[in-house]
Structure 1
Amino acid sequence: MDTLFFEQWIDAHRVQFEEIAADIWDCPEICYKEYHSAKLQKEFLSVAGFRVRDSVAGIETAFVAEWGNGGPVIGLLGEFDALPQLSQQCDVTEKSPIEPLGNGHGCGHHLLGTGAMEAACMIRDYLEKNAIPGTIRYYGCPAEEGGGGKVFMLRSGCWNDVDVCLSWHPGPESYIWNSNLANARVKFNFHGISAHAGVAPHLGRSALDAVELMNVGANYLREHIIDAARIHYAVTNTGGQAPNVVQAEAEVVYAVRAPKITEVSEIIERVIHVAEGAALMTGTTMEYQIVSAYANYISNDTLSEIMEKHAKEFLPISYTSEELAYARKFLKSDDRDKKETPICSELQSVRGRIPFSTDVGDVSWCVPTCAMQVCCFSRDTQLHNWIAVAQGKATVAYKGMHAAAEILAASAAEIFEDPDILHRVRTEFENALGKDSYQSLLPEKR
């Protein structure tokens, strides 16, 4: 394969994609509200000759853009949603919000979506230049952070005719995904009776007491779940600021992670029982809603081998002395080795389960999928943190995005050039699923 094509293509087009990523960083939008980001990408791809299908699954910010005809059909997964309360000035090494409590791209999705879109455009030109048949699709996927947008897109059938999906994610190092944790998030609302806490406390029924008792019960539950599972919670409504009023309303949101979605489902059922017990003890009522859910990721060795081969062609990334000095500023460690090599873009060998969750896992249950992380930040940078936001418009971040685009494009190109690969991919996919079938805990309507 002519890797020089991809390198020269990036050199000729890097500026326009860096500008798109910067534009999305400048306008961080959260869960299902990514109006500017989606519009920006749709307009760009339409001008680039892609056929754009809007409002997939009835979601205004979900879309599919495709080029080409016939098979194979390869999909590239893009995201562009930000995180709440992570606003941060770029290039600043101390916490410094642009807007107090504003949004920020703490997971690098401005790079993720733009890099996948860049790869789609690169493949378009590669197929056209070499007269290779096939269809390349870019999936604009909203609400990965807490909304499970891909689940609703899956239910619409927009992946039904896809042979393979490829994706990537920015991070502080580079590796091929193997497996991760399934996840679900549940919102619990308790309803009580307000009363004067001093004059007539016996008439009150405290929703906040119910939340606190639920959290105590859940903490005891931790001892009796599998070691690989995790239970997190955040109290999102304490019922008011007046201590002399019995709180009539309170809310807590729980997140449960486990290696398999079936295990998540079982633990959530037990957490619901704890909530019911807390309501019974306090004389309150309780209702709950599953607001997001992610299946565990099903890896595919054949696709992983292809992506790993091409990752080694474009990694590690070369950095200037200025870029190394920039990354060094964000290190929180005094470790001499880390100071000398503040960026770790070499392809790593990952063993064991990766402890994060994503709705890419849901896609992987329905379509053979391969994904990887590519270094875009200084080493040890924590995602979902202002430090990642601060580095989001640096040349180090853009170099990682371009490398990811090259890897995705080269991996897709190999499959387009040798469609017989798909037989091995499909066989392995079916063997991995076995008798299991895809399920999502999310309700039919969001």
Structure 2
Amino acid sequence: MKTKNSWQKVLLTVWILKISILGYAQLDTVDIYPAKKEALKYLSRGETVEKFGKISDAIWSYAELGLQEYKSSRLLEETLKKEGFTVETGLAGMPTCFVASYGSGKPVIGILAEFDALPALSQKGRVASREALIEGAPGHGCGHNTMGTAVTAAAIAIKKSMDKYDIRGTIKVFGSPGEENLISRPYMICAGLFDGVDAVIDNHSDYKFGTGYGVKGSAMYSVIFSFHGKTAHAASAWKGRSALDAVELMNVATNYLREHLHFGHRMHYVITEGGEFPNVIPNVARVWYYLRNSDERIGEMYRRVVNCAKAAALATDTEMEIRCLTAIHQLHANKAAAELYQKNIELVGMPKWTEDEEEFARQLQENLGAEMKGMPENVDPIKSFSGPFTGGGSTDVGDVSLIAPTATIVFPGGVPGKIPHHWSSVACNYGSTAWKGLNAGAKAMAASAIDLLTKPDELKKIRIEFEAYSKEHPYKTFLPEDAKIPLDINSALMQKWRGKMEDLYLNYK
């Protein structure tokens, strides 16, 4: 797909006529109560699938980095406004943060929406080999274009059912920017945006369709350490104080620290500033660290890494400052919520894939050296995230899960064997399989939310579990008192690429 016109031709292919999963015919043969059936029927319509598929592809083409998602958030906000939602924007000090609400009173059910992309992952959609749209530009390598869209589709379906069947309660869409930098949710919680929420539905795109419960992933600190020294001619270095020396000494110290940390820890860094010319001693140098560990161990790990920085500053006679961008908890997924969500995942079922979609999957798998098994056929059984802590990725949904009962619906669309945060994921997050996957996710979320709104015993069971868990795991933010939202974090990088990408935008209308 080299031009906007060729992208648009793909959107007009006849597969849309066959996309319906849990469509009208099947709905009539399944025992589903009317309020839930109403939402599923809306999402099964061909025009609904096409509408939200095009919105997803548009956000895919914008590929906006965290806290720079101006077009992406605006498209979702406007879509919800047109359907009667009250939309508050620019919340918690973030221009692209929003909350869209419909209904009134209790219960209050939240759904989490994400929409940011990743740097340097530009890739043509539905192309099974590495072909960048614009070399070096951002791309949607984690599926957030499908996730924000699926939530929007689900919320509108829920609203239509609420209207028709006079369902009491409130549905809230939490537009959460900067998830790839794990920034928004801790600040949103501190701003009180989640106050009064009774349960939360999280979601994530993948090739699987399932959910799970328990403690998962890593808590994390994202911290920039800056060192300030004195410039001098490098040939007379005794007159200078090298900030770069301090960064390198800190990195040596933290690498020696690794053997004394729990085996599940993860620690990675990049030097973001280290001087301009070899013959000028750098007076400023910066290194950006991601520190990951369990909730119980992350604080001590952070303290010891700070000591490494202090020691480096002392050894080089430089000054050191710390800028904590964000700090987040592990995910604590609610079992009762996951069990409810799993029932609706099984009700919706895995989408039916066309032979063209299967062939794309096999080609991509072959190019990645993965098993050539095509697309998945069945939903996954519910998972328990038990066992010893072994580290892994992080999500700021973890903080939400400690202030309201939360579980994640993982929906399909990607190819088994794709690599997260990689061009292969960008290729999967556009076009027909992405449309089908997000539609399946929207159905599972809508059905689950309607259950929570109309079945008080289900919600009560979720709340009892959560309140008992909260007594042993009370929420306390990991954010330092002086932490501020890093609105500038991706601004220069996005400014570099936006002008070059605009000609390839798919502007949904």
Provide the TM-score with structure 2 as the length reference. Answer: 0.82
Aligned counterparts, 1:136-175, within 5 A: 136-175=171-210
Q: Find 1:224's aligned residue among 260, 263, 281.
A: 260
The alpha-carbon deviation at position 425 of structure 1 amounts to: 1.4
Kindly provide the amino acid, as one letter, of the partner of residue 254 in structure 2. Answer: A
Alpha-carbon distance in structure 1 between the residues aligned to 2:474 and 2:197: 18
Structure 1: how far apart are the matches of 2:377 and 2:279? 54
Match of 1:289 among 297, 312, 323: 323
1:434 to 451, 459, 471: 471
Q: 1:240-319 counterparts in 2 under 5 A? A: 240=276, 242-260=277-295, 262-319=296-353
Q: Which moved more, 1:170-179 or 1:377-386?
A: 170-179
2:501 is matched with none
Describe the SS at the equivalent of 1:327.
helix
Residues 148-170 of structure 1 show CA distances to partners (whole Å, capped at 9, x for unaligned) of 11122112212111111101101
Partner amino acid, structure 2, of 1:327: A
How big is the shift at 1:376? Answer: 2.0
For residue 366 of structure 1, what is the aligned residue in structure 2? 403
Match of 1:24 in 2: 59
Contact 1:327 1:343 in 2 (8 A): no
User: More deviation in 209-218 or 351-360?
Assistant: 351-360
Residue type of the alignment partner of 2:269:
Y
**Is the contact made by 2:342 and 2:382 (CA closer than 8 Å) also made in structure 1?**
no
Q: 1:316 to 1:185 in 2, by over 3 A?
A: same
The yes-or-no answer on 1:54 pairing with 2:89 is yes
How far apart are 1:342 and its partner, in Å? 4.2
2:143 aligned partner: 108
Q: Which position in structure 1 is the counterpart of 2:42? A: 9
Q: Distance in 2 between matches of 1:311 and 1:88?
A: 30
Following superposition, the deviation at residue 300 of structure 1 comes to 0.9
AA of the residue aligned to 1:202: W
Q: Distance in 1 between matches of 2:229 and 2:433?
A: 52
1:186 to 223, 230, 242: 223
Measured after TM superposition, the shift of residue 344 of structure 1 is: 6.4
The answer on 1:66 being equivalent to 2:101 is yes
String of CA shifts for 1:122-178, please: whole Å, max 9, x gaps.
Answer: 111122222222211111111112151112211221211111110110123233143
CA contact (8 A) 2:353 2:375 kept: no
In structure 2, C-alpha distance between the alignment counterparts of 1:168 and 1:223, rounded to whole Å: 35
> 1:61-94 CA distances to partner (integer Å, 9 max, x unpaired)?
1111111122211111101111122222222333
Q: 2:434 aligned with 1:397, yes or no?
A: yes
List per-residue Cα deviations over 1:202-229 (Å, max 9, x = no partner).
Answer: 2222211211111111111111111221
CA deviation vs aligned residue, 1:100-123 (integer Å, no higher than 9, x gap): 332211111111111011111111
Displacement of 1:247: 2.1
Once the two structures are superposed, what CA deviation does each residue of 1:308-338 show, in whole Å capped at 9, x if it has no partner?
Answer: 1111122322111110101112114556xx3
What is the DSSP-based 3-state SS (H/G/I as helix, E as strand, rest coil) of the residue aligned with 1:387?
A: helix
Q: Which amino acid aligns with 2:411?
A: V
2:124 maps to what in 1? 89
The CA deviation at 1:10 is 1.9
Are the equivalent residues in 1 in contact too, given 2:212–2:382 (CA < 8 A)? no
Which range moved further: 432-441 or 406-415? 432-441
1:385 is matched with 422
Q: 1:313 to 1:289 in 2, by over 3 A?
A: same
> 1 CA distance for matches of 2:349 and 2:200?
21
- How far off is 1:7 after superposition? 4.2
Aligned in 2, Cα 1:344/1:227: closer, same or farther, shift over 3 Å? farther
Q: Is the 8 A contact 1:185 1:253 kept in 2?
A: yes
Letter in 1 for 2:396: D
State the SS of the aligned residue for 2:450: helix
Counterparts of 2:457 and 2:246 in 1: how far apart (Å)?
59
Provide the C-alpha distance between the structure 2 equivalents of 1:375 and 1:294, rounded to a whole number of angstroms: 26
Cα offsets for 1:21-77 (capped at 9, x unmatched): 111111121221111111111111111011112222232211111111222111111
Confirm or deny that 1:44 pairs with 2:83.
no
Question: Does the CA contact (< 8 Å) of 1:172 and 1:344 recur in 2?
Answer: no
Cα distance in 2 for residues equivalent to 1:45 and 1:23: 16
Match of residue 197 from structure 1: 234
- Count of residue correspondences: 441
- What amino acid is aligned across from residue 384 of structure 1 in structure 2? H
Aligned to 1:106, what secondary structure does the other structure show?
coil
Does the CA contact (< 8 Å) of 2:113 and 2:175 recur in 1? yes
Q: Which SS does the other structure have where 2:417 is aligned? A: coil
In 2: Cα distance, 1:213 partner to 1:174 partner: 46
2:256 partner letter = Y
Contact 2:412–2:440 (8 Å) recurs in 1: no
Verify the 8 A CA contact 1:119 1:406 in the aligned structure 2.
Answer: yes
- 1:394, distance to aligned residue in structure 2 (A): 2.5
> Superposition RMSD on alpha carbons, in Å?
1.9
In structure 2, the residue corresponding to 1:168 is in which secondary structure?
A: strand
**Aligned partners of 1:116 and 1:167 also within 8 Å:** no
Flag the 1:327–1:341 CA change in 2: closer, same or farther, 3 A: closer
Query: 1:345 touches 1:374 (CA, 8 Å); kept in 2?
Result: no
Q: CA–CA distance in 2 between the matches of 1:226 and 1:72?
A: 41
Inter-CA distance 410–347: structure 2 relative to 1 (3 Å threshold): same
Pair 333,102 (structure 1): closer, same or farther in 2 beyond 3 Å: closer
| Other-structure match for 2:358 | 324
Per the TM alignment, residue 307 of structure 1 is displaced from its structure 2 partner at its CA by 0.6
- Change in Cα spacing, 1:131 to 1:19, as seen in structure 2 (3 Å) is same
Task: Indicate the residue corresponding to 2:16 in structure 1.
Answer: none
Contact 1:180 1:355 in 2 (8 A): yes
TM, length-normalised to structure 1: 0.94
The whole-number CA distance in structure 2 between the counterparts of 1:4 and 1:334 is: 42
Measured after TM superposition, the shift of residue 348 of structure 1 is 4.6
